[in-house]
Homo-oligomer: A and B are copies of this chain.
Amino acid sequence: MPQPRKQHLIDTAYRLFNEHGYHATGIDLVLAESGVSKATLYKYFRSKEELILAVLQQRHEQQIALIQRTMEQARENAEPPALAIFDALDNWFRSEAFFGCNFINASAEYAQDDDAIHQLAARHKARVQQLIEDNLGALGEDKAPLAAQLSLLVDGAIVYAHTRGDKNAAKLAKKMAARLLVG
């Protein structure tokens, strides 16, 4: 087993950061909830910031994989891949563990754009947007701005759902996305 405790720390921290935010979640709480000792945490991570970055990095990879799977499945069903993202959002909003997007929330807490955490969030969003663009199919040469608009809709839906506690945000955004795709 490769580093089971490191992984357990990341998973526990991920949950707590979501529920209570990054600054509000102390290292001691992560340790208590995970049952790992403080010395072990600081063996795997040089600082709390490094733990945060590891959590976001893992979440980044999971999200990208989920989006790719969702789009692939949609293409098999002869549906527009870009629209399928909003169905995935809909599922997410209706799950118990929805406290907004990790990256948007991290951007909010680390608001300065030269902060490493803020920049990681920006890179994640750019990667998602690129993924959308790559899956637009044969839609003329204006793919880039269209992907940007769809990406903006994704962020809008997430924030709308979280701040207002309104789980219908994904459907709302999907209608707008569908309009964009018909040209």
Contact = CB atoms under 8 A, between A and B. Distances in A.
A155 B145 contact: no
Contacts of A81: none
A122 B156 CA distance: 14
Interface extent on A, as a size class? Answer: 35 or more
A156 B172 CA distance: 13
Contacts of A112: 19-20, 99
Contacts of A156: 152-157, 159
Nearest to A151: B160
A163 interface: yes
Interface stretch (A5-13, A27-35, A51-59, A100-108): A100-108
Interface of A: 18-21, 23-24, 99-100, 103-105, 107-113, 118, 121-122, 125-126, 145, 148-149, 151-160, 162-165, 169, 172-173, 175-176, 179-180
A120 to B, nearest CB: 11
